[in-house]
């Protein structure tokens, strides 16, 4: 059996699957804030509980924010900053007394959806997380593309393409650059645009609801968001040409994106037609933890060679 752990900023989730993808056990606990040792112990507690249900020792895969530096073996680029500079894989292997597999959380989303989700059967899947931050993962023929620097899919930290005059020079990003896609397309960025335009603070879901009710300011901001997502994903299509793009994260719950963004991206894609599909994740916010579980298998369902 397979254990997946999704290490998030606010919660840590465990999922136990059998090798066909059938869910056996699931549990979530709050992430100890700013407490690295407590995070390790919480993961161990969840693994122990899952194995009590499995009645056997299981493989363990973990999806984390950020990435493992190939140079140091330490976590880098995590928005859960307590993890940065820590030897998370080594510490967990010592604690759990077994080898584990670790991948970026966006890579886990991509692997899940490419294995038995919305991108099943596709050769190239690009999976985007648009939530508190913005990132992505890439799966090619059933394998996660990590890259020489372990940053493949770091789409959110490129500048917004084809910017208008009003979008320049762009807002500062925590990464030290300016005008990153993340500052525009994350839920936080979307809410900041509304606050700047109206002087009012509202959550993303409330802004979407206002647009549905005919609020002109909210509708204008929604259309601007769709155009920015279309430009940003067109950039990806021009480089990677994926079969499927899966949206994950909180902003992926905005249903109009799946119709409106593909209607807008054609003018930016260097092709006479765009066959790439934009789809919602089949497993919703559980997709990341499913992908983490799939990290533990040597051969994925339906894949001849992994």
Once rounded to an integer, what is the mean pLDDT over residues 23-49? 96
- pLDDT tens digits for 234-266? 999 999 999 999 999 889 999 999 999 999 999
Q: State how far the Cα of 130 lies from the Cα of 242, in Å rounded to an integer.
A: 18
CB 278 within 8 A of CB 262: yes
Confidence of residue 65 (pLDDT cuts 50, 70, 90): confident
Candidates 103, 198, 172, 170; CA nearest to 143 is 103
Say if residue 305's pLDDT is above 60.
no
Give pTM, 2 decimals.
Answer: 0.88
List pLDDT tens digits, range 68-97.
Answer: 999 999 999 887 889 999 999 999 999 999
Question: For residue range 11-30, what is the model confidence (pLDDT) as tens digits?
Answer: 899 999 998 889 999 999 99
Which domains, from first to last, does the chain contain?
2-105+286-294 (3.30.420.40), 118-281 (3.30.420.40)
Split at pLDDT 50, 70, 90, the class of 300 is: low
Is residue 233 scored above 70 in pLDDT? yes
Q: How confident is the model at residue 304 (pLDDT cuts 50, 70, 90)?
A: very low
Q: Is the pLDDT of residue 180 over 60?
A: yes
Give tens-digit pLDDT for 183-231: 999 999 999 999 999 999 999 999 999 999 999 999 999 999 999 999 9
């Amino acid at each position: 059996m397979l254990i997946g752990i999704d290490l998030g900023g606010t919660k840590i989730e465990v999922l136990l699957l059998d090798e066909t993808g059938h869910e056996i056990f699931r549990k979530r606990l709050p992430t100890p804030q700013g407490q690295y040792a407590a995070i390790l112990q919480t993961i161990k507690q969840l693994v122990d509980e899952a194995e009590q249900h499995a009645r056997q020792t299981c493989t363990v895969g973990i999806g984390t924010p950020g990435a493992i530096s190939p140079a140091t073996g330490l976590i880098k680029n995590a928005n859960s900053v307590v993890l940065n500079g820590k030897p998370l894989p080594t510490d967990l292997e010592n604690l759990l007394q077994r080898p584990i597999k670790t991948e970026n959380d966006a890579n886990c989303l991509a692997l899940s959806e490419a294995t038995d989700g919305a991108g099943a059967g596709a050769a190239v899947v690009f999976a985007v997380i648009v939530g508190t931050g913005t990132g992505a993962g890439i799966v090619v023929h059933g394998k996660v593309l990590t890259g020489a620097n372990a940053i493949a899919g770091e789409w959110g930290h490129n500048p917004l393409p084809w910017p208008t005059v009003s979008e320049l020079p762009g807002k500062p990003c925590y990464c030290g650059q300016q005008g990153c896609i993340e500052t525009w397309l994350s839920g936080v960025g979307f809410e900041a645009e509304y606050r700047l335009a109206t002087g009012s603070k509202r959550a993303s879901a409330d802004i979407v609801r206002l647009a549905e009710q005919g609020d002109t300011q909210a509708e204008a901001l929604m259309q601007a968001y769709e155009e920015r997502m279309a430009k940003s994903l067109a950039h990806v299509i021009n480089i990677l040409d994926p079969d499927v793009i899966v949206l994950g994260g909180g902003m992926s719950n905005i249903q109009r994106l799946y119709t409106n963004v593909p209607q807008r991206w054609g003018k930016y894609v260097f092709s006479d037609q765009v066959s790439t599909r934009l789809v919602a994740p089949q497993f919703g916010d559980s997709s990341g933890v499913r992908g983490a579980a799939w990290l533990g298998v040597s051969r994925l369902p339906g894949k001849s060679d992994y």
